[in-house]
Chain A
Amino acid sequence: MSITGVRRVGTFLAVVGLLGLGVVYWLSFFWVSTEASQGIVQRIFYVHPPAAWTAFFAFGIAALTSGMYLWLRDERLDWAALSAAEGGMVFGTIMLITGPLWGRIAWGTYWTWEPRLTLTLLLWFIFLGYFMVRRSTENPEQGKRFSAVVAIVGALLIPFIHLSVVWFRSLHPEPVVVRPDGPLLPGDMLTLLLTSLAVFLVLFLGLFMLRYTLEGIRADLQVRARRAAA
């Protein structure tokens, strides 16, 4: 697909995603039933975990394209990795902001070492490392390779981090552990949750493609500038 094609599809997906987001918000407030124990606050649940899952999905894309970039050396794979990482960081940030807010209102405390929250926090820092390393080399090519390595190692070790954080939590159970997922979820909540996830993914893909387009244009400009200077 050419850059223009990507841009078109990306714009389409982003618009659909944003509209979908609006629909999800509306549904969260007005359609879905209220959860018994937490009340209205629980509705944030339709934003919070999908954001986290999208962040992890984005990271997976970033790590995969990074690996392929190191193997095939195609610049476009690096654009993809960068775009996915940015998108992932955005969704991760959303999750890290909504999480403590929810926690404060629902359980009285801003931070718990809840595995999902903790894992997302650590993932966020791996993203941070990705960007810091990318920007801090003299040679930009080196920066791309370094950040690709960060992404790949991160992806390989995330399962261990997940395991360890879950295990740690099981040793020190926090007083309130909400279990809003799994088969215990009533029909309409599950539907909304999955819809929200789909919307987030669509939105992410749209933003991802738009960002990819931006990188492509930037690279093109660089080549032109160099040709003009020569």
Chain B
Amino acid sequence: MRQVGVIVWKDLLLELRTRERFAAMGSFAVLAGVLFNFSIDASLVRPQDVAAGLIWMTIVFDGLLGLGRTFHLEGEDGAFQGVLMSPAPKDAIFLGKAISNFVLLYAVALLVLGVFMLFFGLEIGSSPLALLLALGLGVLGFVALATLFAAVSSGTRMGETMLPILVFPLLVPMVIYGAGATGRLLAGRPVAEVAGNLRVLAAFALVALAAGAGLFRFVVED
């Protein structure tokens, strides 16, 4: 399992070196906030009422943007082949990838939250901690699925464009429970009301990670 750490280190180092994914995802976060703001007629709808949903959808699209390329850098010089031929177990490789993706997307998610709070005039709500937790758990489940299916889609002719089709139906629980919890917390409802949501999000993330770790070997085998 030590190899998980090695892969995370390598991915974050690469990200630091190239900054391409974070730059793209960060810009998307801000621009999405801008466009969403323009797409809402504030005389008909209170922006604060729809913000939670928009935050999560922005995170989803942003995630697809960035995570689809998970295996892209690996493919440039066939580096991933080298990793697969190493004694690192496949589930460790998957977890390493998932964790580094999580770090990236969670950072972006916080940016999205900040941007929307700024643009939509939101209050931090009843419990910042619960909010951060909801975001974290939702992003974790998402990242697990996206990492697994990024490996799948990069092996198809359609490439990254296949990723949304594979992942969207499975994201319904994440969006429903995540946006639900976020909306309530931003509106100042007590944490107890969203505890159930958080539990399901945690279970979802756990199942997604386990499935990814278990099935990754079948996706990358040759």
Stretch binding the partner chain, chosen from A99-107, A162-170, A179-187:
A162-170
Assess the A165–B218 pair: CB atoms within 8 A.
no
Closest chain A CB from B178 CB (angstroms): 10
Stretch binding the partner chain, chosen from A14-22, A83-91, A133-141, A189-197:
A133-141
Assess the A163–B162 pair: CB atoms within 8 A.
no
Closest to A154 in B: B170
Choose one: A142, A161, A168; the contact of B170 (CB below 8 Å).
Answer: A161
In this assembly, does B45 line the interface, its C-beta being within 8 Å of a C-beta of chain A? no
Closest chain B CB from A60 CB (angstroms): 16
The 10 A-B residue pairs whose C-beta atoms are closest, nearest first, are A164-B173, A164-B176, A136-B156, A160-B173, A122-B169, A125-B169, A129-B166, A136-B157, A149-B215, A168-B176
| Cα A153 to Cα B213 with chains together (Å) | 11
Choose one: B165, B176, B180, B204; the contact of A132 (CB below 8 Å).
Answer: B165
Choose one: B145, B180, B200, B219; the contact of A145 (CB below 8 Å).
Answer: B219
B interface residues with partner A (beta carbon < 8 Å): 145, 148, 152-153, 155-158, 162, 165-166, 168-170, 172-173, 176-177, 180, 200, 203-204, 207-208, 211, 215, 218-219, 221-222
Assess the B219–A146 pair: CB atoms within 8 A.
yes
| Residues of chain A at interface, number, CB under 8 A | 31
Assess the B176–A146 pair: CB atoms within 8 A.
no
Tally of A-B Cβ pairs under 8 angstroms: 89
Closest chain B CB from A166 CB (angstroms): 10
Of A138, A142, A153, most B-chain CB atoms within 10 Å: A153
A-B contact pairs, 6 of them (CB 8 A): A136-B156, A142-B222, A146-B219, A156-B207, A157-B170, A168-B180
Assess the A153–B157 pair: CB atoms within 8 A.
no
Q: Inside 8 A of B211's CB, which chain A residues have their CB?
A: 152-153, 156-157
